[in-house]
């Protein structure tokens, strides 16, 4: 990460003192995310001082600001009371539309050489990024949210990444008003990044379970592949094939391993952890190979890891010992976070020393669960502070375009659907995080799965504007950029990570 001290322009921002006192951690978090994502450092201005941006209840309270954003005090008092009705767009900005919300006239008004935005976009970012509405969604036995009747799915909001679109609007607006462009988000002139990872669930075929899974997935059509797996004609150990394919495209990915060894009995009674043993020599040789070729080894936290901090810590330590090196990233098996308050699990990531996690997603549904396609440090509502472990928000898990295709294929082909995501990410300067399981390489057993992923990588490579590195390198770049901008800034420090 290069030094930004001479490159980062500094904005003067005034925060309404009333809301700045009562909701300081929440307000400061939202503005830190907006400004650091754009790439501006800031200086918080005192009342009456000249400022560039003002977030106030009344426009007349900041007569010198070139951009005035009107705060919505009532929304901050009870954010959980609002429900999503859909999305609206005006003057190039998309934003959430809350149920029962009435239009307040034009979104923007130019007056006396400045621009007044009548929408509290800082609140919108906070409301989206903290998942205020998730508690109302029904869940199945694994905690997967059922969104078929929810506006976030029904109105296509998941594919819009509304919080990131608000950041893009802020950047374009400030540049239009004459501010210096912010520091770039990504190195070497790239517009976006791709973080590719493989959840290692079934590297070794279980000849009892896997045929049953084939039959359950495909019915009668699964008879032939089920028999071939049972008779040993096919396997799932394709790590060298994955690495070779990705190397040919200039990519290094991550493989996430489960240290906790499950069993058929545990699987049958509702704890579906994988059955492999990472301490065996076969896996130790694999770990040496992966580290030698520069592929990241990450943690795939077990199904119930979120229920015990000590168990979670032991899983990380066990994988580090078995793999012969540090483990800095994580993705939860079955995306299984605390179902009542996911941030409790995200806090565990900080406590066990993870640099990043990539688990905030809706299992069955394509798109961005919290409306952000940029990496971010989550805000914990109970602790009222930012967490120190970065989140790389996933956009696509392979199964979403196969088993759950009816929900997600919004274009004629799978690739065209993924291109839609990739274009959105590039447009906003974000990170496209994708999850491809280890066991889907064999086209005979999973027709089209590997090819869809490979076609996406080909497309991103041909675009030439995506940065191809491991998820950990992306996380370290983003966290380093964030900290440098923070160090160059004054104010907005409430609710920072401890």
Q: What are phi and psi of 236, to 5 degrees?
A: -115, 0
Residue ranges, the chain, pLDDT below 50: none
- Domain check: are 48 and 197 in the same one? no
The tokens of 113 are what? 């050489």
- CA–CA distances in Å: residue 129 to residues 40, 132, 176, 360: 20, 8, 26, 10
Q: Which residue has the tokens 């590039």?
A: 426
SS3 of 378-443: the string is: CEECCCCEECCCEECCEEEEHHHHCCCHHHHCCCCCHHHHHHHHHHHHHHHCCEEEEECCHHHCCC
Contact call for residues 433 and 394 (beta carbons, < 8 A): yes
Q: What is the pLDDT of residue 209?
A: 66
Same domain, 146 and 59: yes
In a domain, 496, yes or no: no
Asked whether residue 164 falls in the same domain as residue 225, the answer is: no
Give the bridge partners for 109, in sequence order: 116
Tokens of 136: 């109302």
pLDDT for residue 213? 67
pLDDT in tens, 94-152: 999 999 998 777 888 998 789 999 999 999 999 999 999 999 999 999 999 999 999 99
If one counts every other C-beta atom within 10 angstroms of the C-beta of residue 182, the result is 22
pLDDT (0 to 100) of residue 99: 94
> Residue 337: its pLDDT value, please?
98
The residue whose two tokens read 């998941």 is 158
Average pLDDT, the chain: 94
The answer to whether residues 313 and 418 belong to one domain is: yes
The domain boundary residue, chosen from 131, 159, 183: 183
Tell me the per-residue pLDDT of 393-418, one tens digit each, with 9 for 90 and over.
999 999 999 999 999 999 999 999 99
We report the CATH number of the domain holding residue 321 as 3.20.20.370
Same domain, 232 and 165: no
In a domain, 2, yes or no: no
Q: What is the pLDDT of residue 111?
A: 80
Query: Does residue 166 sit in the same domain as residue 217?
Result: no
CA dist 179 → 53, 67, 104, 170, 465 (Å): 11, 11, 28, 11, 25
Domain membership of residue 205 (yes or no) is: yes
> Is residue 53 located within the same domain as residue 115?
yes
Q: What torsion, rounded to 10 degrees, do the Cα atoms 185, 190, 195, 196 define?
A: 180
- Do residue 210 and residue 333 come from a single domain? yes
Number of domains in the chain: 2
Give the model's pLDDT for residue 113.
80
Q: Would residue 319 count as lying in a domain?
A: yes
- Reported as a single tens digit per residue, the pLDDT across 170-182 is 999 999 999 999 9
Domain extent, residue 74, equals 10-183
The verdict on 207 and 347 lying in the same domain is yes
Per-residue pLDDT at 91: 84
Q: Which two tokens stand for residue 491?
A: 């104010």
Domain boundary among 141, 159, 183: 183
Shared domain for 99 and 165, answered yes or no, is yes
- For 21, the 3-state DSSP assignment is helix
Q: What local confidence, expressed as pLDDT, does residue 223 receive?
A: 76
Q: Read out DSSP for 332-353? A: EGGG---SS-HHHHHHHHHHTT
Say if 491 falls within a structural domain: no
Q: Are residues 110 and 258 in the same domain?
A: no
Please tell me the predicted confidence (pLDDT) of residue 226.
Answer: 66
Question: 179 and 211 share a domain?
Answer: no
Q: Is 15 helix (H, G, I), strand (E, B) or coil?
A: strand
Domain assignment present for residue 167? The answer is: yes
Q: What is the pLDDT of residue 333?
A: 98
With respect to residue 384, please indicate whether it lies within any of the assigned structural domains: yes
Of 120, 150, 183, at which residue does a domain stop? 183
In a domain, 137, yes or no: yes
Residue in the structure block whose two tokens are 């002139």: 189
């Amino acid at each position: 990460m290069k030094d930004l001290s001479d490159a980062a322009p500094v904005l003067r921002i005034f925060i309404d003192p009333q809301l700045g006192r009562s909701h300081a951690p929440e307000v400061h978090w939202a503005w830190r995310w907006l400004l650091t994502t754009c790439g501006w450092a800031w200086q918080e201005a005192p009342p009456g001082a000249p400022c560039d941006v003002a977030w106030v209840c009344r426009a007349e309270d900041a007569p010198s600001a070139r951009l005035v954003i009107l705060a919505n005090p009532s929304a901050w008092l009870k954010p959980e009371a609002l429900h999503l009705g859909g999305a609206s767009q005006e003057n190039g900005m998309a934003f959430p539309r809350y149920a029962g919300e009435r239009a307040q006239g034009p979104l923007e008004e130019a007056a006396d050489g400045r621009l007044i935005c009548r929408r509290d976009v800082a609140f919108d970012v906070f409301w989206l990024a903290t998942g205020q509405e998730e508690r109302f969604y029904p869940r199945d036995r694994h905690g997967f949210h059922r969104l078929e009747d929810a506006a976030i799915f029904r109105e296509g909001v998941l594919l819009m990444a509304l919080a990131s679109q608000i950041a893009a609007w802020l950047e374009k607006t400030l540049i239009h008003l004459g501010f210096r462009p912010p520091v770039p988000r990504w190195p070497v002139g790239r517009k976006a990044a791709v973080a590719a990872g493989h959840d290692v669930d079934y590297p070794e075929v279980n000849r009892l379970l896997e045929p049953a899974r084939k039959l359950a997935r495909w019915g009668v059509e699964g008879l032939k592949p089920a028999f071939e797996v049972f008779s040993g004609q096919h396997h799932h150990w394709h790590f060298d094939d994955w690495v070779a394919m990705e190397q040919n495209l200039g990519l290094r990915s991550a493989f996430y391993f489960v240290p906790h060894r499950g069993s058929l009995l545990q699987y049958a009674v509702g704890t579906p952890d994988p059955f492999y043993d990472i301490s065996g020599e076969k896996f130790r040789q694999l770990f040496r190979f992966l580290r030698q070729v520069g592929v990241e080894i990450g943690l795939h936290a077990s199904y119930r890891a979120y229920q015990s901090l000590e168990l979670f810590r032991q899983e990380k330590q066990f994988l580090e010992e078995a793999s012969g090196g540090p483990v800095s990233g994580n993705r939860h098996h079955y995306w299984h976070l605390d179902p009542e308050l996911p941030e409790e699990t995200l806090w565990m990531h900080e406590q066990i020393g993870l640099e990043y996690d990539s688990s905030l997603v809706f299992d069955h549904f394509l798109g961005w669960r919290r409306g952000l396609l940029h990496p971010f440090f989550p805000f914990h509502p109970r602790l009222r502070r930012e967490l120190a472990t970065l989140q790389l928000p996933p956009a696509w898990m392979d199964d979403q375009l196969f088993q759950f295709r009816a929900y997600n294929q919004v274009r004629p082909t799978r690739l065209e659907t993924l291109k839609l995501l990739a274009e959105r990410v590039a447009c906003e300067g974000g990170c496209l995080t994708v999850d491809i399981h280890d066991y889907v390489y064999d086209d005979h057993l999973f027709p089209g799965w590997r090819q869809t992923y490979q076609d996406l990588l080909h497309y991103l490579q041909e675009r030439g504007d995506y940065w191809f590195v491991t998820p950990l390198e992306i996380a370290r770049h983003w966290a380093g950029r964030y900290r440098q901008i923070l160090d160059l800034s004054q104010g907005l420090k409430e609710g920072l990570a401890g």
